[in-house]
């Protein structure tokens, strides 16, 4: 028995000490973390597939300066402490040149501080919390900023659709709350009135009670933030309660699963403020959509596209900068009209947050289609 215990202990210690760098040293390593288990596992899977697609694209085109790219990825379970140890593992053991986060705000924020302190750049795909890029001069974001997304929503709702009475339904996390603040501020500035407002928790599936109150207010527009699972329930139950106003969503809706999970045709006609324009004639978009579908058997979503772009920006930084953090940082800061991004083109970065066009998609016959696009710098430049 004792022998067994001793040998197991030795085995466990040995496992911990196995160097991770078994792969050849002449690859360029990009570190990646995403929630592959737990409640956010679906987004983690999309992000990973998007990042892997980007790595394949880069390697098929001959790698970076002739060297192939290797994606080192770990599961953070959407937890801050796991992200902390992963960040150190990626930096110290795997010796990655750049980190890419395919995770939510909480783990990304925890990892950002570690990457910054260790002098390794980190690019966040879609985590929204404003404090992430404030962690330091090495932390970037390629997803939409809460401010631009909220402003574009207000522009669409009040100016383009001409709605004055707006009901706001906010998902109660950092994403929904910061987005909602910017949306309300602009919408009210443009002359809209918020006739109803309420927050709901992540993962909520029963909206009939809230929607009942919204129906009593009879707004012209329902602006609701949330992820596609909540969104599908919102539009299905709104249809069931015969709420006929426009429903405007944002990037969280942006997944084919939104249409699949909503009942019958209830998702049709929903407007979605997002950054992935599936009708774009840019070549990178169409080849990404095709390759992603080929790889996963599913149609691409916003999360996958953002992770793809984050890896593309990382590769650009290494190719045009070098291997030190400062060179990569300066290369990314110097980006202008970056065409290799699916959610682009990236016009540039403002305080390490991307400036890129914002698209509005509409669900027509169960598919995402182009509705309109915002490129006005006033709207798409993130708030200071």
Partner 1 sequence: MAIGYYLTVGVFMGIFSILTISLNILTGYAKQVSLGHAAFFGIGAYTSAMLTTNYGLTFWQALPCVIIITAFIGTLLGLPSLRVSHDFLVLSTIGLNFIVGGVFRYFSFFGGSMGIIGVPPPRMFGSPLGNMGYFLLTLAFLILTILTSYYFSKTWGRLAMEAMGEDEIAAKSMGINVPKFKTYAFALSSAYAGIAGALWAHYVGSVFPGNFSFDRSVAILSMLVFGGMGTIRGALLGAFLLRLFPELFRFIQDYRMLVYGGILVVMIRFQPMGLLGKGSVLWNGLEWFARKIRGGPIQEGTT
Partner 2 sequence: MIQNLLNAVVLGSTYSLIAIGLTMVYGILKILHIAHAGVYTLGAYIGLYALYAFDNNFWIALVLAMLATGIAGVLIYRGMYYYMLKESRIVPLISSIGLFIALQELFRLFAGPYQKAFPAKSGFPRVETSWFSLTSAQGLIIVLTAVSFLALYLIIGKTKIGLGWQVCEQDIDMAGAMGVNVNRSIALNFFISSMLAGAAGVLMALYRNSVYPTMGAMVSYKAFVVVVLGGFGNVTGCIVAGLLLAFVETFLGHLEWFEFPRDAIAFLVLISVLIFRPKGLFGRK
C-beta of 51 vs 238, nearer to partner 1 = 51
Confirm or reject binding of residue 383 to partner 1 (CB under 8 A). Answer: no
- Choose one: 85-93, 218-226, 231-239, 331-339; the region binding partner 1 (CB under 8 A): 85-93
CB atoms within 10 A of CB 313: 30
Q: Which is nearer to partner 2, 143 or 304 (CB)?
A: 304
**Residue 1 beta carbon to partner 2: minimum distance, rounded to whole angstroms:** 21
Footprint of partner 2 (CB under 8 A): 36-39, 41-42, 44-45, 172, 196-201, 203-206, 208-210, 212-213, 228-229, 232-233, 236, 240-241, 257, 260-263, 298
- Rounded (10°) angle between helices 302-320 and 325-333: 120
Q: Is 216 in the site for partner 1 (CB under 8 A)?
A: no
Minimum distance between the CB of residue 273 and partner 2, rounded to whole angstroms?
A: 22
Distance, CA of 222 to CA of 231 (rounded, Å): 12
Distance CA 90, CA 73 (A): 8
* φ/ψ bin of 322: left (φ > 0), alpha (ψ from -120 to 50), beta (otherwise): left
**Ramachandran sector of residue 66 (left: φ over 0; alpha: ψ -120 to 50; beta: rest):** left
Radius of gyration of the chain (CA): 21
Query: Which pair of tokens denotes residue 126?
Result: 């879609």
Among 92, 206, 326, 336, binds partner 1 (CB under 8 A): 92
Nearer to partner 1 by Cβ, of 1 and 24: the residue is: 1
**Dihedral of the CA atoms 283, 286, 288, 291 (nearest 10)?**
-120
Q: Min. distance of Cβ 174 from partner 1 in angstroms? A: 5
Asked whether 224 and 199 are in contact (CB, 8 A), the reply is no
- Cα 335 to chain centroid, rounded: 20
Binding partner at 209 among partner 1, partner 2, none, C-beta below 5 to 8 Å by kind = partner 2
Stretch that binds partner 1, among 74-82, 214-222, 240-248, 258-266 (CB under 8 A): 74-82
The angle subtended at Cα 341 by Cα 257 and Cα 375, nearest 5°, is: 90
Q: Which residues bind partner 1 (CB under 8 A)?
A: 1-2, 5, 12, 15-16, 18, 36-38, 73-75, 77, 79-82, 84-85, 88-89, 91-93, 105-106, 109-110, 113, 118, 129, 131, 172-174, 176-178, 201
């Amino acid at each position: 028995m004792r022998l067994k215990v001793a040998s197991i202990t030795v085995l466990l210690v040995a496992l911990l000490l196995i160097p991770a760098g078994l792969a050849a040293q002449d690859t360029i390593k990009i570190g990646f973390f995403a929630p592959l288990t737990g409640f956010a596992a679906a987004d983690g899977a999309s992000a990973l597939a998007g990042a892997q697609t980007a790595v394949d694209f880069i390697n098929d085109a001959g790698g970076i300066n002739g060297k192939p790219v290797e994606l080192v990825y770990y599961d953070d379970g959407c937890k801050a402490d796991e992200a902390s140890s992963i960040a150190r593992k990626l930096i110290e053991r795997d010796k990655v040149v750049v980190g890419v986060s395919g995770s939510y705000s909480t783990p990304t924020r925890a990892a950002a501080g570690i990457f910054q302190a260790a002098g390794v750049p980190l690019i966040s795909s879609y985590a929204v919390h404003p404090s992430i890029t404030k962690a330091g001069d090495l932390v970037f974001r390629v997803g939409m900023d809460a401010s631009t997304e909220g402003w574009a929503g207000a522009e669409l709702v009040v100016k383009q659709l001409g709605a004055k009475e707006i009901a706001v339904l906010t998902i109660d996390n950092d994403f929904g709350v910061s987005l909602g603040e910017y949306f309300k501020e602009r919408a009210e500035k443009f002359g809209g009135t918020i006739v109803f407002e309420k927050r709901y928790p992540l993962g909520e599936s029963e909206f009939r009670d809230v929607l009942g109150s919204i129906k009593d207010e009879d707004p012209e527009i329902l602006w609701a933030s949330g992820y596609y699972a909540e969104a599908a329930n919102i539009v299905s139950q709104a249809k069931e309660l015969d709420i006929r106003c426009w429903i405007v969503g944002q990037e969280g809706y942006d997944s084919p699963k939104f249409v699949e999970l909503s009942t019958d045709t209830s998702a049709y006609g929903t407007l979605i403020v997002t950054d992935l324009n599936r009708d774009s004639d840019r070549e990178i978009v169409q080849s990404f959509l095709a390759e992603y579908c080929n790889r996963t058997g599913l149609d691409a979503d916003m999360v996958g596209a953002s992770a793809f772009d984050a890896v593309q920006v990382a590769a650009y930084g290494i190719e045009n900068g070098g291997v030190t953090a400062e060179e990569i940082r300066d290369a990314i800061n110097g980006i202008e009209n970056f065409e290799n991004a699916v959610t682009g083109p990236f016009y540039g970065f403002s305080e390490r947050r991307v400036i890129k066009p914002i698209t509005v998609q509409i669900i027509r016959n169960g598919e995402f289609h182009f509705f309109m696009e915002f490129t006005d710098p006033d709207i798409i430049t993130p708030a200071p």
